[in-house]
Structure 1
Amino acid sequence: MTDDKPHHLGHRQRLRERFMNGGASSMPDYELLEMILFQALPRGDTKPLAKQLIAAFGSLADVLSAPPERLAEVKGVGDGIIATLKLFREAGLRMTRAEALNKPVLSSWSAVLDYCQAAMAYEKREQFRILFLDRKNTLIADEVQQTGTVDHTPVYPREVAKRALALDATAVILVHNHPSGDPNPSRADIEMTKQVVAAAGALGIVVHDHLVIGRGTHASFKSLGLL
């Protein structure tokens, strides 16, 4: 008598048990993605699709950060799956952002870096983000000011200073990403930073740092002696 049961029966339960019993850190990206896909696909084997997505985009973080239109190009990915992936990404971003909120930024620097990495490292285009701080160096606003191309974002120093005044901010941290993954500042980055520092300084606003975010790494203008 042959066993006609689908091979994946019990697989979901075994994955859940491994995850709940402390094995999450050792699970490869595709297995975590399988579990995320459980939410959108209540039946069937999610492993092939999980592996297909990892192969297409590179990592779990890349999958969660991929544009919806790119995700839709993968066979088997519909609106429900895209919504689920974006839900998990947004939840992760809010969690990392909460770690940086309502605390003096300069004393919770690792939380700020974690948030910037989660928010920007896997973006396919450059973004220019500003963290606005009050007199106690507590984060009061976090805004993406501009989105550009794969290697350039237009930045308007006067607009940065104007927005800081409107928010009653006394200091800012500039942040932008390099989609190439290499966080080394370019000459254009250095020149732009000088212009922002001059515009902000004229209004009594301090630029604490300019962070360039790469994949799993970053560069700090302050640490590099550029600020």
Structure 2
Amino acid sequence: MFLTGTKHFSYPMEETPEHTKAIIDEDTAIDHALMVEIARGDHKAFRQLVERHQGAVIGTISKMLGNTSDSEDIAQQVFIRVWKHAKRYKPDNKFTTYLYTIARNLVYNESRRRSRKKTVSTEQREEKSHLQHPDDPNSQPDSKLLTSELQSAIDDAIQELPENQRLAVVLRRYENLPYEEIALVLKTSVPSVKSLLFRARTSLRESLENYMES
């Protein structure tokens, strides 16, 4: 597998919006230049592109599918498609828009495949959770356990969202994509993206109401 562990690039908080925009423009130019070389069959350029974006792609797929062991395999499929279709790539938008669109299609296909082949019932999941965290009135969970349980609850709540809402939340919350780019990935309008996020946040608040109260 060509995927290797890398950290997802993030911008320091102290940067100004103008400086951040300059970085984004520079990143886009680098991606487009790499795609030109990849279209010529340059394996080194392809490895560089993978290293630049694999962390974000794996993270997004993992959030969409629920932290599964399949995330890296699907991410690999994403980059294989980038390689195969490099000659047809047109730099009309940011490369990440193109990348997340491929990821979206593969994730949606995987989600539908799983919905047709469920092997674990709700009762089995609840039983497994109970065995892992048995009720004990005398137990006092530490802050790390509470944080872990809250994050698990958030992940589960995100999984219950409709596909478009889920992807909008993941791209906005975890990848910090602007509304305009999310709209391109989802093939919709900016107002529609904002509506999706509003409905998603409302659903998440309802799902996490018990945690928020405590």
Structure number, greater radius of gyration: 1
TM value normalised by structure 1: 0.28
More helix by share: 2
Structure showing the higher strand proportion among its residues: 1
